[in-house]
Structure 1
Amino acid sequence: MIDTTYRRRLLGTSMFVGAALAASVVAAPAMAQTSQEDTVDTIVVTGSRIARQDYVSTSPIVTVGQEDFQSTGSVTIDSLINDLPQFVPSINSTSNNPSNGGQANINLRGLGTVRTLVLMNGRRVIPSNSDGTVDVNIFPTALLRNVEVISGGASAAYGSDALAGVANFILNEQFEGVQFDAQYGITDRNDGATESYSLTMGAPFADDRGHAIFSLGRSTRDFIYNAARDFSSVSGASGASPLGSTVFDANNLPTNAFVRSYFNDATLTNTGSFGFNDNGSVFSYVRQLGFVSPGGIDYDGFRTRSTDYVYNTGPLNYNQLPLDRWNAYSSLTYKLNDAAELYGSLLFTEYSAAQELAASPAAAATGFRVPSTNPFITPAIRSFLNARPNPAGSFRLDKRFNEVGGRRSTENYTIYQGTFGVRGDVVGLKDWTYDIYAQYGRNERTTLQTGNVSRSAVQTLLDAADGGASICAGGFDPFGISNMSPACVAYIARVSQNVTAQEQTVVEASLQGGLFDMPAGEARFAAGIQYREDDYDFRPDASLSRVNPTVTRADGGTTGGSEIAGFNPTPALKGTTNSLEYFAELLVPLLADMPFIQSLDLNLGYRYSDYSTVGGVQAYKADLDWAVVDSLRFRGGYSRSVRAPSIGELFAAGGTTFPSIGSPSATGLSGDPCDIRSSYRQASNPNAAAVRALCIAQGISAAAIDNFVYSNQQVSGISGGNPNLFEETSDSFTVGAVFTSPFQSPWLSGISASVDYYNIEITDVIGSVGASTQLQGCFNAQGQNPTYSNSNGFCQLFVRDPLSGSVQGAQEIQSNLATLKTSGIDAQFDWTVGLADVGAPDWGNLALNVVIGWLENRERQDVAGGPFINRTGTIDSVFGNTFPEWKSLTSLTWANGPFSVGARWRHVGEMRQFATTTDLDSADYYDLIGSWAINDTVSLRATVNNVGDEQPIVYSPGVQANTDPSTYDTLGRRYSIGLTARF
């Protein structure tokens, strides 16, 4: 519901503005058509509300067009966006776990997708998630004219979310004619086929007073499994295996003497994980002692790559997600007179995507308890139970349920957005124009999940005196490969369906024009008011939202918790936010026609936003544009931007997560610091004793501390929102220069270049501290806890299970953290030359484009007063945390008449794996592009991407599939061909 106060204010202001403008419309006479020669268009470039003749952006900006997208051979827009140095690739088409439901979100400056504002034709777009991010899959690629990307805060012009900058997707709404486009692509391994088809029509009508366009497109993308690539076929190490395993309770451990005698190893401890061989024997995860493999890459993949036993979950994960998408877009304009042009548009997208994971695991917090009376306990397992102080006590069971099948999440989206408005000249005011529009969008998402397992059903089978045989045929033997009957599979398997509905309503009125003449030129002004409301409603399947009560058993064990093992349970979420915003912008020409000052303009902007959540906030900017001479111009400015917390960040209820912490390392900082094999516990660490004491203070028993090992690479966590959040604030500073050649030489006349420095600092950053960061901070990895106190803030974010000592409940809860900083330089160089002009044969033209990004600094401070952690030139195991110092995109094109041939070079600089001494080489990919205009109607194009079939840089722990699939090319060499016919 819209707050009554907001409704009154909105209606009152809108009625005043609307009445004044409507009067102008009624009073304006119909004007005769002006010839094209007499018309001087005004242009609005992303970042400003003021239209100017011969406008040049005062902010760092990069523009890519339709041909650039076609050269990638991809069916999704984000492929090219992520190649640009200004972006840090985030979750995309090769991101399976974690995945965002097949969406394509973009991340400017690596400051987070939530801080990159995405626009379409200068207007907001319906979000795709509770955090307000936009899925760029929804845009009609056939109509895409270009994308303008502006760096630095832009809240003064566009409102919240624009802390990192803006990506404005501009559609060609003046298209005329009929165009058919088709494209097909496939990889060098004959998989991952992509297809796209589009039909676009546009025409003027009513003596050119109106214009209508319609575009319909279909695109598909086939999936690729990790198993299809050597680098990823062994990946996703997990302690949860179909064989089953246990970690004995710390207060009921088998004796060390028995464990060492069983495995004939004098150094083995009793605190590690022990697995169940299919022949009834027991094996040790530590050093894989006694392991009897059933065979296959899933069991044997890591045997030579890991000291501990881990199961290979990677082969049946997706390397490329499938996609089946329909896009439709239509727009209509009709000019009543100079004072009123009606316009409207409708965007519609429907698509499906999927995520595929290994079979459901249940471990640690989601594992089970097996009574000592279970009839399937083998003699070898019984000997371990009898070696405990309490042989009759139950014990923990971790298990992966391959019989139920892999976990598959199929996402179905239906998205539409409609806009209707009126714009025109304000009669009686010199070159003043107005624009009033209303916009409504809705995003419906249905998620179907298979492969889930009911924990209560499994526990019932385990507790049954006959092992569950009376419940389902054969019962459930958890020790070794279970080979459950179809009846037992049906008894424990669960299919779930989640439904999400998201709506956005925007009403805006604005006007702009010239104020008065000054000695240096005309002062111009723009102002407006906007009301925006966002509604979000997530309705999870009842099985995923249900949490069984946790009960402490007589033996000290626990049962209960989440009802589902498989896809992480997510509570329901419903919320509404709204804002009423006022904005104004002023262009002041300061100086002109002076020595070394051709023109000097000042652009000021201000926005006041009143949010229903955080109250009133302010954003403002000041930009300078100094044209020295025709060929040299300097630009720069300062902006204060804000971002109000989103619905999900505010209101999301706590959900279960399983964040990765990596394996213990004697040299790195991954894994559990309390593990005796970690660098924290090594004798060479002068603080090893303090680490040991802190581990005991957290609950690891003194009897277990000197033998404690944790073999899993994941811990249990809790994610959720925080209703006490307040807004983020950023300060951005940019300064740069633009050069266009003044030279007459044909070698030099086609040169243009720009270089811009940016510096962005965000305070009160909304985010969560990941489990791995919590452990590093608690154990003073970068100076966060020098006294090794358990009361330190990082230590308070997690607890340890009193029985096993493992980390549980890592609180990845949203909060206002401290500060995020980034700075660097963007440079662009363009050069064109006609071969005949430089004395060569008349064989056409050459064009070179180079875009380079240099990252000077990337730092994050998690808590106020804490140390800044420098991430410049590093990569880690989280999407969006890839910060190469150098990144570039270079293209060289030769064109001669109907033919063109081009080459692209994509470069990602070398990086160091964060918190290690491991250096990763740079990655270089080369693409070839060619086109042939057969005649005025038909043209062909072809691409070869990753000509050298370069494989991705692999490292451990990677983000996914032993690498970062959003940063590095995981598909290998691939080809595409396309045809465009225009009539």
Structure 2
Amino acid sequence: MLAGPAAFAQSTAAAETADTETIVVTGSLIKNPNLDRATPVTVTSADEINLKQVTNAEQVLRDIPGIVPSIGSAVNNGNGGASFVNLRGLGSNRNIVLLDGQRLVPAELNGRFDLNNIPLALIERVDVLTGGASTTYGADAVSGVVNFITRRDFTGVELNANYGLTQKGDGQTLNLDLTTGASFDDGRGNVTLSVGYQESDQVLQADRDFSRYSYDSFFGSAGGSGTSNPSRWSNINPTAGNLIQNPLEGAQICNVPSDPNLPVIPGAPNCVNPQGGQRQITADGTAFRPGTAYDAFNFNPYNVFQTPFKRFNIYAAGRYEVNENLEFYTRAIFSKNKVQTIIAPSGAFGLSVVVPLNNPFLTTAQRNAFCNVDINSGVGYTPRFTAAECAAAANPNLKPGDADYRSVSAVVSRRNVEGGPRISTYDTTFFDYQAGLRGAITSTIDYDVSGSYGESDNVSTADGYWLNSRVRQSMLANAAGCFDTSNGCVPLNLFGATGSITPAMNDFLNEASTTSNRFTLAQAKGSISGDFGVGSPLASDALAFAVGAEWRSYSATQKSDLLSQSGDLGGAGGAAPNISGGFNVYELFGEVIAPLVQDKPFMEDLTFEGGVRYSSYTVDAPTNPTFDTWTWKVGGSWSPGFGLKVRGNYAKAMRAPNIAELFSPVNTGLTNLSDDPCASLKDNGDSLGRPTPTGELLAICLAQGAPTTSIGAISVPTAGQANATFAGNAALKPEKSTSWTLGAVFVPQFAPGLSLTVDYYNIVVTDAITFPTPNDAIEACFGTGSTPAAGAHLTEACTSIRRSDATGSLSGDSAEVGGLFLPYSNLGRLETDGVDFTLNYGTDFGAVGWKIALTGNWTGKSVFQATPTSSSIDCVGKFGTSCGSIQPDWSWSVRNTFTISDFDISFLWRHLSSVTYEGAGDVNTEAYSGTLTGGNLAGQEVDFNHIPAYNIFDLSARFQASETFTFTFAISNLFDKQPKVVGNSIGSTSFNSGNVYPSTYDALGRRFNVGARIRF
């Protein structure tokens, strides 16, 4: 990785494009290679990309210090089929991805561009600019831009191929690219065409020792989800607080609240469990099996560390110089890719059902268990039905309306292990076409006018999901079959061991669903740039300028089939409603770079620069809101001599809300939450060891919809995921940001080949468009102490949280359980600062050439506050559900490359400093520390509160066999460094998966890649 001052990047760009006078300078609209910029740019070269042997743009960016991992190939549960970039941890919706300085059509409703569509074979370099970019590229570049620069005027034919796999033989990747280009009419024209194919195979978490079993981050036990197999039955009407779980032997009954003096159930042995009041009976009611954490379902083996991926892409570009004042240019991109995510089987996730007592699959003991549930919840003993009523109701021919017909309402959790995993397939078709004219107005002033149109269509297909409505329908059955046979209903056996779900049952319960997302972007832009030949009398270079106008029109739709809209898919995380929206942006911009003093003592160069952009947004909505925003910047640089330059920049920006933030309807989905103040039980039904809620805590739980009979029997959210209701907000206003940088570049004359840079940055976003974290919602109601304030249950922060009216849980059917309320607002605040630093040096030792390139970052703070009353969270050096992806204090990469004749050998050292769990140090919230129990890691001593410093090394070797053939061999993670295990419930499911953080720390292990390039 070559990273250095903006001047270096500009010089490179100028040299590469001198023949066509087309200069791409990231961070400025003024295409003049002689003018230094005040804003630092980090550059990743094509050489670095080749040495790493990566196959997609997301992998190129993932290791750059200062870039926080976002959604990408290592994200399984939470991946929507696209890959994004997150600069400075401010959110992937607050930066812009460009190709040769131009926007491309976004991939989804948040306006983010999918990195999977970048034609990597043609990339010459990647520029990353932080802060100060809004004036140049648009107000939504709050945290900066990533600019992919393509090779220009390519001639000849080039074939690139590489293949890779892990040391364990999985995770194969294949990349093939064919590029051809030709110049014509004495170099006045050029056409380039590149065609590529990329493929990556899945890596299952079952195939790594540290991820084979799911470990609870707060109890250190092997477990997983309470939606398990055999079935768990709870809240048996009319009394909540009773649990029946089918073990392999039969049925388990747990009477809660925990009470060692609970009465013995008639027909069952005296099997009171003093730790949790658990009783289990077999089919004949004679045996007992203690309940354990192993009743939880281990979902890890089904999940993947590398999502399967296939892509076919075409890139074409051309230009023709009609005369010295007019050149036509065009480029087109087409990409078709497929991404799959694979998660554990579907099933009934805390689903409320009605069970007839003559259901054909009920055993006598199980029927008696339903009948004998204590409707007084341990206060005296009254069975749900008398023995006579229970016996009469067993008549296999009874149906609703018959005198002896009886049924019970209950909540069931059952994993469909017979049906296999849930697979979501995301098929994306992307194209973006641009055409323009450019040329000279005078010898020093140029014009550039262009227009483009792009579309991104993504169709997601969800397979392997049970329909909640059909589960309910199939439970209403007797010996003759389903009571409702209108759609070919097949009775469902939720009362047996593994294998009780037959293919016929699954065929009836499963139905594929689809959701289509379409995003379009039409844009036109015109600019005039150059200089008038005048400037400061103390400077040799003239004042340079750029002015212009820009128009963009966005539209987005999400169209779902009836199944996706209904939220009927078991375990899909809620409905996918139809959404439609769009907006138009009209902009005027101007920029100036003014050399004030040049070539004077202690004043080799003193340059001022400034810019301004006015934006008018018209939103397609019934109220037709409009936003008018101004962004501006001022900056400058001073070179006193001796190879030193000091530079700084200050910028103001306003980001308008995107389509998702404005138009998303109220919808219940899933969020990450490992604990619940109202809960008394673990996910698998074991006791948490805390007192049953009383006083104000009890009042809060009841006010949120928990039934009285559930108190003492509420479980923590299933698999660390609680329901949450999200909502867009048509009343949102633009958020505001301030950013400034101050740094220095040192290129000493006494050490040829050496360059050093250091730059401080500071970015603050106020009136930020955010929604509360799950912990914000919990703390707003329950507070941070153990005893909530009196009357808290009456506040909106408490009553907006809605629980299951059957179990009191924050998990369950999204149509019935609203969970946490997390709406968008303008009440947030974001703040980050830090220091970027680089070192580049090259020299020769006789026949051996040596180059070293260091790029590093120190992050001082990364603060998020959803509302003025929410906790202010600093996520630097922290991990947890509030912080999402990991952002360490220190990160750097150092590449040393040695060249001997036609052979290069290169070593890359990547470093991340240690991080700590956000709740560490508080006995009430800290994660587990001790000995792991259960699973293949049982007996290991762990501390889930801390991840030590992480160092990983890569080795690359490259041989230039001839003028036309180059061979490259790379080993990633040379010493097979393993990620630190922290359990599966300590962070966001998008980034905390397989007991580790696979987007930050390599979960695949040592990897081998071979590549070949043939050019002629």
TM above 0.5: yes
TM-score, with normalisation over the residues of structure 1?
Answer: 0.85
Q: Which residue of 2 aligns with 1:425?
A: 440
Residue type at the aligned position of 1:423? R
Residue type at the aligned position of 2:852? L
Q: Which residue of 1 aligns with 2:239?
A: 252
Inter-partner Cα distance in structure 2 for 1:901 and 1:320: 28
Q: 1:543 touches 1:564 (CA, 8 Å); kept in 2?
A: no
Q: Which residue of 2 aligns with 1:839?
A: none
Q: Which residue of 1 aligns with 2:934?
A: none
- In the TM superposition, 1:708-723 aligns within 5 A as 708-710=714-716, 712=718, 713-723=720-730
Quote the offset at 1:771 in angstroms: 3.0
Secondary structure at the aligned position of 1:750 is classed as coil
Q: Which residue of 1 aligns with 2:733?
A: 726
Match of 2:496 among 475, 480, 483: 480
The change in CA–CA distance for 1:632 and 1:931 in structure 2 (over 3 A counts) is same
Q: 2:476 touches 2:491 (CA, 8 Å); kept in 1?
A: no
Residue type at the aligned position of 2:203? I
Quote the offset at 1:278 in angstroms: 8.6
Match of 2:763 among 757, 760, 763: 760
Q: Which residue of 1 aligns with 2:104?
A: 125
Q: Which residue of 1 aligns with 2:162?
A: 183
Quote the offset at 1:100 in angstroms: 2.1
Q: Which residue of 2 aligns with 1:504?
A: 521
Q: 2:237 touches 2:408 (CA, 8 Å); kept in 1?
A: no
Q: 1:588 touches 1:603 (CA, 8 Å); kept in 2?
A: yes
The change in CA–CA distance for 1:784 and 1:487 in structure 2 (over 3 A counts) is same
Q: Which residue of 1 aligns with 2:473?
A: 460
Matched, 1:976 2:1009: yes
Match of 1:173 among 145, 152, 174: 152
Inter-partner Cα distance in structure 1 for 2:762 and 2:287: 55
Match of 1:348 among 315, 329, 334: 334
Q: 2:697 touches 2:788 (CA, 8 Å); kept in 1?
A: no
Inter-partner Cα distance in structure 2 for 1:259 and 1:67: 75
Q: 1:536 touches 1:647 (CA, 8 Å); kept in 2?
A: yes
Q: Which residue of 2 aligns with 1:954?
A: 981
Inter-partner Cα distance in structure 2 for 1:398 and 1:752: 62
Q: Which residue of 2 aligns with 1:844?
A: 848
Q: 2:565 touches 2:577 (CA, 8 Å); kept in 1?
A: yes
Quote the offset at 1:802 in angstroms: 3.2
Query: Which ranges in structure 2 are unaligned for 5 or more consecutive residues?
Result: 1-14, 216-223, 243-254, 376-383, 386-406, 620-625, 811-816, 922-944
Inter-partner Cα distance in structure 2 for 1:731 and 1:432: 32
Secondary structure at the aligned position of 1:218 is classed as strand
Q: Which residue of 2 aligns with 1:58?
A: 38
Quote the offset at 1:978 in angstroms: 0.6
Match of 2:654 among 635, 642, 646: 642
Q: Which residue of 2 aligns with 1:627?
A: 639
Quote the offset at 1:981 in angstroms: 1.1
Matched, 1:606 2:612: yes
Q: Which residue of 2 aligns with 1:541?
A: 561
Secondary structure at the aligned position of 2:89 is classed as coil
Quote the offset at 1:965 in angstroms: 1.3
Q: Which residue of 2 aligns with 1:828?
A: 838
Q: Which residue of 2 aligns with 1:163?
A: 142
The change in CA–CA distance for 1:695 and 1:947 in structure 2 (over 3 A counts) is same
The change in CA–CA distance for 1:443 and 1:241 in structure 2 (over 3 A counts) is same
Q: 2:473 touches 2:482 (CA, 8 Å); kept in 1?
A: no
The change in CA–CA distance for 1:407 and 1:703 in structure 2 (over 3 A counts) is closer
The number of residue pairs the alignment matches comes to 889
Quote the offset at 1:784 in angstroms: 14
Inter-partner Cα distance in structure 2 for 1:931 and 1:784: 64
Secondary structure at the aligned position of 2:475 is classed as helix
Quote the offset at 1:188 in angstroms: 0.2
Quote the offset at 1:437 in angstroms: 0.3
Q: 1:258 touches 1:387 (CA, 8 Å); kept in 2?
A: no
The change in CA–CA distance for 1:151 and 1:110 in structure 2 (over 3 A counts) is same
List per-residue Cα deviations over 1:226-255 (Å, max 9, x = no partner): 111111221382111131112216961456
Q: 2:704 touches 2:800 (CA, 8 Å); kept in 1?
A: no
Q: Which residue of 2 aligns with 1:289?
A: 290
Q: Which residue of 1 aligns with 2:347?
A: 361
Inter-partner Cα distance in structure 2 for 1:898 and 1:106: 35
Inter-partner Cα distance in structure 1 for 2:616 and 2:173: 45
Inter-partner Cα distance in structure 2 for 1:186 and 1:464: 51
The change in CA–CA distance for 1:854 and 1:396 in structure 2 (over 3 A counts) is same
Secondary structure at the aligned position of 2:778 is classed as helix
Quote the offset at 1:290 in angstroms: 3.7
The change in CA–CA distance for 1:791 and 1:890 in structure 2 (over 3 A counts) is farther
Match of 1:741 among 741, 745, 748: 748
Inter-partner Cα distance in structure 2 for 1:191 and 1:858: 37
The change in CA–CA distance for 1:241 and 1:39 in structure 2 (over 3 A counts) is closer
Inter-partner Cα distance in structure 2 for 1:742 and 1:188: 46
Matched, 1:137 2:116: yes
Q: 2:522 touches 2:553 (CA, 8 Å); kept in 1?
A: yes
Residue type at the aligned position of 2:677? P
Quote the offset at 1:915 in angstroms: 1.8
Inter-partner Cα distance in structure 2 for 1:416 and 1:929: 34
Inter-partner Cα distance in structure 2 for 1:536 and 1:815: 21
- In the TM superposition, 1:56-455 aligns within 5 A as 56-101=36-81, 103-235=82-214, 237-248=224-235, 252-253=239-240, 254=242, 257-258=261-262, 264-265=271-272, 267-268=274-275, 289-290=290-291, 303=294, 309-364=295-350, 366-378=351-363, 379-380=365-366, 382-389=368-375, 390-391=384-385, 393-427=408-442, 430-455=443-468
Q: 1:942 touches 1:978 (CA, 8 Å); kept in 2?
A: yes
Match of 1:894 among 898, 901, 908: 898
Residue type at the aligned position of 1:724? A
Q: 2:105 touches 2:520 (CA, 8 Å); kept in 1?
A: yes
The change in CA–CA distance for 1:899 and 1:260 in structure 2 (over 3 A counts) is farther
Inter-partner Cα distance in structure 1 for 2:50 and 2:562: 44
Higher alpha-carbon deviation: 217-226 or 871-880:
871-880
Residue type at the aligned position of 2:464? G
Secondary structure at the aligned position of 1:458 is classed as helix
Query: Structure 1 vs Structure 2: percent identity of aligned residues?
Result: 28
Quote the offset at 1:348 in angstroms: 0.9
List per-residue Cα deviations over 1:204-227 (Å, max 9, x = no partner): 111111111111111111111111
Q: Which residue of 1 aligns with 2:1000?
A: 967
Quote the offset at 1:528 in angstroms: 0.8
The change in CA–CA distance for 1:242 and 1:591 in structure 2 (over 3 A counts) is same
CA RMSD of aligned residues (A): 3.0
Q: 2:444 touches 2:530 (CA, 8 Å); kept in 1?
A: yes
Quote the offset at 1:772 in angstroms: 4.1
Inter-partner Cα distance in structure 2 for 1:210 and 1:280: 86
Inter-partner Cα distance in structure 2 for 1:728 and 1:263: 64
The change in CA–CA distance for 1:601 and 1:779 in structure 2 (over 3 A counts) is same
The change in CA–CA distance for 1:711 and 1:43 in structure 2 (over 3 A counts) is closer
Inter-partner Cα distance in structure 2 for 1:569 and 1:903: 48
Higher alpha-carbon deviation: 501-510 or 394-403:
394-403
Inter-partner Cα distance in structure 1 for 2:1002 and 2:612: 42
Quote the offset at 1:327 in angstroms: 1.4
The change in CA–CA distance for 1:785 and 1:113 in structure 2 (over 3 A counts) is farther
The change in CA–CA distance for 1:711 and 1:754 in structure 2 (over 3 A counts) is closer
Residue type at the aligned position of 1:247? S
Secondary structure at the aligned position of 2:858 is classed as strand
Inter-partner Cα distance in structure 2 for 1:538 and 1:283: 54
Inter-partner Cα distance in structure 1 for 2:270 and 2:119: 63
Q: 1:455 touches 1:565 (CA, 8 Å); kept in 2?
A: no
Inter-partner Cα distance in structure 1 for 2:270 and 2:734: 58
Inter-partner Cα distance in structure 1 for 2:325 and 2:777: 60
Q: 2:696 touches 2:788 (CA, 8 Å); kept in 1?
A: no
Quote the offset at 1:313 in angstroms: 1.1
